[in-house]
Structures are given as structure tokens and as C-alpha cells.
């Protein structure tokens, strides 16, 4: 039986938050992709999910509406991958941080 | 500080011309953030010749265009965009819903408020009211770009 340490709980929380962000993006952008098949380190733009600048604005809108996270021009680095988005979300929105 | 623009002043701020200037005024302007467009629906509007004969109903697509014109002016207001050759292009339309018919005699108040922005893109939430009734609502994104040498 797995011991439910604080570290384990945090890993589970992070796994679920990543999944929620993937579902929000894939659903919000109506992409023909299974959210579970998107790698958390996969690039969102270019050869990744092939998103464009209008999709970027929609991700900003989705993160604000679904997670209460506001992304500004200075934080464009967060669009690198789902993991970068969630790292930023946890850092900027304490309620999302499972620690 | 809140500002207001008359129909005549709007023609200096919009690239559109008759018959496609759809706003009669814009007030409560907070540059780059929000404002309220005014649109009077008149039976003399040529669109009613065909939409529809004997049953004049203002087209929903023109409600979106009127909201986009209001957002375009708010987004490129002189207090936030120094280069006044910039204009706002309609980039996306999201979840617009038409809840009641708009007919001649109605006066539309088009409330526009910035939701999110990134770079030259700004998304506004728009609520179109006749009196206290919401007749349409949805979001539009405006892309700020260079005009064609107005």
C-alpha cells in the first residue's frame, strides 16, 4: 500500500492540475485531440499543438476564467508547455498550489 | 478619465463610412478598458428592405459589428495608442447569443469591457441592452494594427 505522504499528495495534486489545464485548453480551443495524449512538456506552438496568436489570447482567457490566473505580456514564457503554464499558475495563485 | 464621442467624432476614429458606420455615439469611454456604444435602430435603415420584408428585424451579425466598432475605438483610443493611424480589426467572435429581437424604435446600449489582453490582441465582453433588457451578449477580440493611411 502506498503511504500517503505530503509529497505523494502534492504529486497527485499536480497530476490532477495538469490534467485540468489540458482539458481546459483542448476543450476551450475545440482541438481534435485527446487531452490525455498531450504530453505535459510538449510545445503548445509551432510543431507542438500548432496553436497561433489568437489561440494564445484564448488560453489567457481560459486560465483566467477556469483557474483565476492572469497572464500578462511579460509572462509569455508560460506558453511553452502545459508544465510551464501550471508552474506559473501555482506560483501566482496560492489556492492552486498543493503544497 | 471617462470621455464621450459623438457620431461625427466617431467618423474620425473609425475607418468605416456610410452605410457601415453603425454607431450613433460612444460614451463612458475609459481608454483601452471600457465604454458604452449607442445605436438607434431606424426603419429607414436600408437593411430592413430585405431583413425581412414586412417584418423588420435588425440582423444579429450587425449587432456584433456594432459591438466590434465600439471595441475598436476603445482599444485604439488616443490615450492608449499614440499612433492614431492604428485601427482595431475584428479578430474573433466568441459565444455571441441573441436573446431577443431588435426592431425599429429600439435604442441599443452596447456595454464593452476588456476581459483579457496579450500583445496587440484585446478581448472584450459585450452586453447589448434595450432599456434594461439584454438582447445580445458575447465576446469579441480586437487586433490593433496599422490603418491604410487615413
pLDDT for the residue B81: 64
- Mutating which of B89, B116, B142 best tests the A interface, going by the most A Cβ atoms within 10 A? B116
How far from the centroid of its chain's Cα atoms is residue A72's Cα? 16
Instruction: Return the domain boundaries, chain B.
Output: 3-146
Q: Which stretches of chain A drop beneath a pLDDT of 50?
A: none
* CATH number of the domain located at residue range(s) A6-96 in this protein: 1.10.1200.10
Work out the average pLDDT over B11-22: 91
pLDDT for the residue B84: 63
B5 has a pLDDT exceeding 80: yes
Q: Among all residues of chain A, which has the CA nearest to that of B119?
A: A73
Higher model confidence: residue B21 or residue B83? B21
- pLDDT exceeding 70 applies to what percent of chain B? 93
pLDDT for the residue B150: 47
**B116 vs A54, A64, A76: nearest CB:** A64
Work out the average pLDDT over B47-60: 97
Concatenating the DSSP letter of every residue in A34-58 gives -GGGS-TTS-SBTTSS-B-HHHHHH
Question: Architecture of B3-146 per CATH?
Answer: Roll (3.10)
SS3 call for B141: strand
Widest pairwise Cα distance in chain B: 47
Whether residue A57 and residue B116 make contact (CB cut-off 8 A), yes or no, is: yes
pLDDT for the residue A45: 84
How far is A36 from A14, CA to CA, in rounded Å?
15
pLDDT for the residue B78: 66
Q: Among all residues of chain B, which has the CA nearest to that of A55?
A: B92
Within 8 A of B92 by CB-CB distance, chain A residues are 54, 57-58
**Cell 490525455 belongs to which residue?**
A36
pLDDT for the residue B85: 74
pLDDT for the residue A98: 63
Q: Among all residues of chain A, which has the CA nearest to that of B95?
A: A28
pLDDT tens track for B55-104: 999 999 999 999 999 999 999 986 666 666 788 999 999 999 999 999 99
Whether residue B91 and residue A71 make contact (CB cut-off 8 A), yes or no, is: no
- Mutating which of B75, B92, B113, B118 best tests the A interface, going by the most A Cβ atoms within 10 A? B118
Amino acid at each position: 500500500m502506498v503511504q500517503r505522504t505530503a509529497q505523494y499528495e502534492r504529486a497527485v495534486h499536480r497530476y490532477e492540475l495538469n490534467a485540468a489545464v489540458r482539458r481546459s485548453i483542448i476543450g476551450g480551443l475545440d482541438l481534435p485531440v485527446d487531452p490525455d495524449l498531450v504530453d505535459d512538456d510538449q510545445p503548445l506552438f509551432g510543431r507542438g499543438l500548432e496553436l497561433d496568436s489568437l489561440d494564445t489570447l484564448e488560453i489567457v482567457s481560459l486560465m483566467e476564467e477556469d483557474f483565476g490566473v492572469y497572464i500578462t505580456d511579460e509572462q509569455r514564457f508560460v506558453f511553452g508547455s502545459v508544465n510551464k503554464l501550471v508552474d506559473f499558475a501555482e506560483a501566482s495563485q496560492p489556492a492552486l498550489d498543493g503544497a | 478619465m471617462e470621455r464621450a464621442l459623438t457620431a461625427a467624432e466617431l467618423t474620425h476614429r473609425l475607418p468605416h463610412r456610410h452605410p457601415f458606420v453603425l454607431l450613433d455615439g460612444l460614451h463612458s469611454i475609459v481608454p483601452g478598458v471600457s465604454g458604452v456604444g449607442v445605436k438607434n435602430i431606424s426603419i429607414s435603415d436600408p437593411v430592413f428592405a430585405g431583413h425581412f420584408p414586412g417584418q423588420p428585424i435588425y440582423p444579429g451579425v450587425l449587432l456584433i459589428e456594432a459591438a466590434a466598432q465600439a471595441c475598436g475605438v476603445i482599444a485604439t483610443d488616443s490615450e492608449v495608442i499614440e499612433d492614431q493611424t492604428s485601427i482595431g480589426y475584428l479578430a474573433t467572435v466568441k459565444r455571441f447569443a441573441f436573446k431577443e429581437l431588435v426592431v425599429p424604435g429600439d435604442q441599443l446600449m452596447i456595454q464593452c469591457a476588456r476581459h483579457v489582453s496579450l500583445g496587440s490582441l484585446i478581448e472584450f465582453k459585450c452586453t447589448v441592452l434595450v432599456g434594461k433588457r439584454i438582447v445580445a451578449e458575447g465576446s469579441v477580440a480586437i487586433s490593433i494594427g496599422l490603418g491604410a493611411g487615413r
